[in-house]
Amino acid sequence: MAQTSQFCTFYLDKLLFGVELKGVQEVIRSLDMTKVPLAPEVVTGLINLRGQIVTAVDLRARLGLASRPAGALAMNVVVRSDDGAVSLLVDEIGDVVEVDENTFEPPPETLRCPVREMIPGVHKLDDRLMHVLDIEKACQMADVTTAATAAR
């Protein structure tokens, strides 16, 4: 019997992503956000999560996807990273799925480089593919992005 693990899934630009359930603190609806001027563009702002200030990272921007259509509210997937809680902004929340490791496969070679390090692979679900997202990598601001924004 292969080992199974649980993933919290969500959608970004119609793609299905999943983060390991044990790294997820909570999922909440859109909250009031304070913008941070001069911040890297992937950082959407700061939210007040019951007295805790959490940085919100726009996953669409982080993964190089098209930006969210205006007016569409994002969901917050609050994950625990090494550096405290970080909120990942996603389009829509999916189910919690249980996958077994047999369905895992590393990403194809054709996947572009910057995104590649955040996506260690995909799980082949029955009807579609679920991209596995590495929480630490996603929360870590790649030097390239920060350097570029800092130079602006």
Partner 1 sequence: MVDAVRQMLNQIEISGQEGERDDSLLISTLTRLQQVPETPAKSAAAELKIPFEPAVAPPIGDILMERTGVTQAEIQLAADMQKKGDPRHMGEILVEQGAVRPADVVEALKIQQAARTQAALSDSTIRVDVGLLDKVMNLVGELVLARNQVLQFASRMKDTGFVAVSQRLNLITTELQEGVMKTRMQPIGNIWGQFPRTVRDVALGCGKEVGIEMEGKETELDKTIIEAIKDPLTHLVRNSVDQGIELPDDRVKGGKARSGRLILRAFHEGGQVNIEISDDGAGLDADRIRKKALERGVITTEQAAHMAEREVFNLIFLPGFSTAEKVTNVSGRGVGMDVVKTNVEKIGGTVDVQSTRGQGTTVRVKIPLTLAIIPALVVTCGGDRYAIPQVSLIELVRLKAEEVGKGIELVHGAPVYRLRGRLLPLVYLNRELKLAEKPSTSKDDGAVNIIVLQADGRQFGLVVDHINDTEEIVVKPLRKQLKTVKTFAGSSIMGDGKVALILDVLGLAQRASVITETRDRAVTGKAAETASAKEEKQTFLLFAGPGDSRMAIPLSTLARLEEFPANQVEMSGSQWVAQYRGQILPLIRLSVVLEERRNKLRSLEALPSVDSGPIQVLVLNHDGRTFGLVVERIVDIVEDRADVRTPATRPTVLYSVVIGDRVTEMLDIPTILRKASIPAARLKAVQTPPEVVN
Residue 18, interface with partner 1 (CB under 8 A)? no
Residue 148, interface with partner 1 (CB under 8 A)? no
Residue 83, interface with partner 1 (CB under 8 A)? yes
Stretch that binds partner 1, among 43-51, 96-104, 111-119, 128-136 (CB under 8 A): 43-51
Report how far residue 120's alpha carbon sits from residue 132's, in angstroms, rounded to the nearest whole number: 6
Residue 35, interface with partner 1 (CB under 8 A)? yes
3-state secondary structure of 41: coil
Which position among 30, 52, 67, 102 is part of the footprint of partner 1 (CB under 8 A)? 52
CA of residue 59 relative to chain centroid, distance: 5
Specify the amino acid at residue 92: E
Residue 89, interface with partner 1 (CB under 8 A)? no
Structure tokens at 116: 């590649």
Shortest Cβ 134–partner 1 spacing (Å):
16
Which of 126, 67, 91, 108 has its CA nearest to residue 9?
A: 91
* Residues binding partner 1: number (CB under 8 A): 30
Report how far residue 13's alpha carbon sits from residue 29's, in angstroms, rounded to the nearest whole number: 18
Report how far residue 26's alpha carbon sits from residue 97's, in angstroms, rounded to the nearest whole number: 16
Residue 141, interface with partner 1 (CB under 8 A)? yes
Shortest Cβ 133–partner 1 spacing (Å):
16
3-state secondary structure of 76: strand
Query: Which residues here bind partner 1, judged by CB under 8 A?
Result: 32-40, 42-43, 45-48, 50-53, 55, 57, 83-84, 86, 139-141, 146, 149-150
